[in-house]
Structures are given as structure tokens and as C-alpha cells.
Amino acid sequence: MPLVEINYAPHVPHAVLEDLASMLPHAVSLAVACPEEPYDGDLQPGDVDLRFHARGPFDSTGMDLVVEVRSKYFESRVVNRQARADDLCEAIVAATGLADVGVYLSLPVAAWAQT
């Protein structure tokens, strides 16, 4: 289950954030798909956790949008992690039309449990 933090600038329109919330679960699932955790295209509640945060007055980034994806470490994910981040960034730019977008893909050794 990827955890996704979305930090956005105050000038990003609400409609763009709605579009982003709609497309990100699928796009993130494609970005982290691997043999150990394949993506079958059938997202269920809890498969991707999105957390939106408006940039505050003390935040230092000048970007329109920064998306941080955290998903479990698997060797098959790590070997092409830059391409995965690049592809996700391109998908976000295409969906939002925003010029300054950053994607941070983190693949820590982790465990997940869910009821």
C-alpha cells in the first residue's frame, strides 16, 4: 500500500486537486507495480492512501506541487526507481497542467498490516 503525501501551493485550483485525487491512485499503482505486489487494475479502499496538504507560510518550496510516494522496498522496484519517478511525474504534469511538479519516490524496508 503506497502512502502518498501531496503538498500543493495555495494558487493551485481546487479543480486541479480534484483531478489529481482522481488520477493518482491508478498512476501511483502503476509506478510501484512489481512482481511481488502486482497491480491488477482493481483498486480497493486502502490500496493507496492520499494525504493532501496546503503549503503553509513557513514552507520553503517554490514548486506548485510535490508528491511523495512511500512504498515497500523490493529489489524489482529499486532497479528502475528513477524511471518510475519520472513516469509518475510526467503523468501528473499531463493531468494537472502544472509547470513545477516534483515527485519523490521512497522505497524503505517496511511492513504493513491492515484489517
Q: What is the pLDDT of residues 69-91, one digit of tens each?
A: 999 999 999 999 999 999 999 99
Q: How many CB atoms lie within 10 A of CB 114?
A: 7
H/E stretch holding 15 reads: helix 14-32
Query: Which pLDDT band holds residue 110 (cuts at 50, 70, 90)?
Result: confident
Query: Which pLDDT band holds residue 68 (cuts at 50, 70, 90)?
Result: very high
DSSP one-letter string for 20-65: HHHHHHHHHHHHH--SSS---S---TTSSEEEEEEPPTT-----SE
> Which CATH class for the 3-106 domain?
alpha beta
- Residue 50 pLDDT > 90: yes
pTM for the whole thing?
0.91
User: Which cell numbers in the block locate residue 73?
Assistant: 522496498
What are the structural domain ranges in the chain?
3-106
Share of the chain above pLDDT 70, in %: 100
**Per-chain mean pLDDT for the chain:** 93
Work out the angle between the directed axes of helices 81-96 and 14-32 (0-180°, nearest 10).
150
